[in-house]
Amino acid sequence: MDLQLKGKRALVTGASKGIGLATAEALAAEGCRVMIASRNGEKLALAAQEIGARHGVEVLWRAADLSQRGAAEALAAWATQPAVHGGGPLDILVNNAGAIPGGDLLAVDEDTWRRAWDLKVFGYINLTRAVYAQMKAAGAGVILNILGNAGERLNAAYIAGSTGNAGLMAFTRTLGGVSHADGIRVLGINPGPISTDRLLSLYRQMAASQLGDAERYTELFKGLSFDRPGTPEECAWAATFLVSPRSAYTSGTILTIDGGQASRQS
């Protein structure tokens, strides 16, 4: 299926690894003019080079810490410069930067909670605001927020993440319910357990503790849906379809990709 994305200008944050990197690659494979951002410039440069070599496109990158005031506005302004894929408003924004640490209410202190929310919660909101203004002026655009199924499958042991993701779910639905008036679609994806470096590191630690051998971590996948975590590519392919004109009537909604976990009653 031709997703009709060739030539579209897309910015993906948190794109040096995991779901963000996989999404940037999927968009490049469909012919998008891709820009990537994260805090790690070294990894970004390597990712841009590798994606560009595989798909014969130029992938541009910019290091940005979206937890800092003004960073979102600066990134949005950079992405529209004539030197960046010819300039002009973005067609697609994928918000993906940020990971909120685990812990219950007494384990997560105020500084930790604020740092995590400054990057993921306020980072998403601020970049969306900056890019939305560009898209509204152009009369078109798509904003996709990569969230997390802890926002719907609430977990007191991950209280900062559950609360942050639930807030971003509300933000996505609220804005996506009215953005059609400006020609813009806003939607989200709630990933469940996905085989990112972070998740695999956690499972290795668990295997070392429970089984005495970190490399036996795949044994702990039993009990997950289909006895495995999802892959970044499975999220990326869904994301690429959702931001495409093939999904042009989708806004204000959130797709959960967790193998059915959020639908279980026990």
Residue 158 annotated in active site: yes
The residue annotated as part of the active site, out of 124, 132, 158, 203, is: 158
Which tokens sit at 213?
A: 């051998």
Return the number of other C-beta atoms located less than 10 Å from residue 157's C-beta: 12
Catalytic residues: 158
